[in-house]
Amino acid sequence: MTYQHTPVMLKEILAYLNPKSGENYIDCTLGGAGYTLEIAKRIGSEGKILSIDLDQTAIANAVEKIQQNKYKNIILANDNFKNLSAIIKKNFANNKTTKFAGIVFDLGLSSAQLQDQSRGFSFQLVNAPLNMAFGQNTKESAESIINEYSENELTRIFKDYGEEKNAWQIAKQIIKTRREMPIKTVDQLLVIINKTVDQNRRALKIHPATKIFQALRIAVNDELENLKKVLPQAISALAVNGKIAIVAFHSLEDRIVKQFFKQESRSCVCSPICPACQCNHQAQLQILTPKVIKPTEKEILDNPRSRSAKLRIAKKI
């Protein structure tokens, strides 16, 4: 499969990170290698960029691009970014004191993943299987969740990860349908969703299946927990004055990033009712984007999938 993906807000990220010759970087979400290749150009042969992706297809695509461009400064890791500290230790074993000038995350799906018929990430793919796993070796799938989880568990997933107001009704209809036959394809799930939501919602710009598919994808890949796990590791890996740039695509992940940046930019995180500080917490970050950065109108026109992107950047102090 040809791995096509346009990196979001690349110009803005490069302007903030300002990669220089000899510096080391991490791209925690390799995808189509858009960020990786541009950073690799700027850090030269004396620098290194460690690029991570759980998707073997993304890794294979990057290998081709690296060979074509004859880059010698890119290290690829087929792994989950939640294991960041271990990945760094494995790939920089000869220099255990290595710190990084910048770390970048693009938390969205790549265009290639959305268009991959075998993944079932998009509700626009006819007869696609309900897979939705980032990694080819991921044991969980949307199909197993839909067919094996209880009504309460499905309701929780749709409500917590999709913020879907009809979570219980959709879960109930899924249980009813699967008693008669297994739910295996995107089409089958779409029928259930369309049958459950009212006519007014079906006429909206945002398809009623959007939130359900988002919720299932988050559940399959444990996205929110993985993000919470990697953020402290990323800060630990940064050099002083190193920067972390994160592009989020929905409110759940953006909220996690925003709250983490806020907490780590404060010297005290005690409750306001405490008469004196008892936490001994030390600020680690300076927020460089008090207001979230969004794509320009031109970028949205050129790349419609960027429209919901939000960029936050912080510097280690």
Q: What is the pLDDT of residue 187?
A: 94
Question: Are 299 and 311 in a shared domain?
Answer: yes
Q: Which domain holds residue 215?
A: 117-221
Together in a domain, 197 and 248: no
Q: Is the pLDDT of residue 290 over 80?
A: yes
Helix axes 167-178, 186-196, angle to 10 degrees: 130
pLDDT tier, 203 (very low <50, low <70, confident <90, very high otherwise): low
C-alpha pair distances (Å), 119 with each of 49, 123, 125, 138, 250: 28, 11, 9, 12, 20
Number of folded domains that form the chain: 2
Are 37 and 126 members of one domain? Answer: no
Mean pLDDT of the chain, nearest integer: 93
Per-residue model confidence as pLDDT tens digits over 36-72: 999 999 999 999 999 999 999 999 999 999 999 899 9
**pLDDT of res. 116:** 87
Task: Give yes or no: residues 101 and 250 share one domain.
Answer: yes
What pLDDT is stored for residue 95 in this prediction? 77
Instruction: Summarize pLDDT for 104-149 with one digit per residue, the tens.
Output: 999 988 878 888 888 889 988 888 999 999 988 888 999 999 999 9
Which amino acid type is present at position 101?
A
Average pLDDT over residues 279-308: 94
Pair (215, 227) in one structural domain? no
In a domain, 1, yes or no: no
Domain edge (last residue) among 188, 221, 254: 221
Report yes or no: 205 and 275 within 8 Å, Cβ to Cβ.
Answer: no
Q: Is 2 domain-assigned?
A: no
Residue 238 sits in a domain whose CATH number is 3.40.50.150
Domain end residue (candidates: 221, 236, 271): 221
Nearest to 254 by CA among 113, 52, 107: 107
Among 170, 189, 221, the domain-final residue is 221
Residues 20 and 108 in one domain: yes
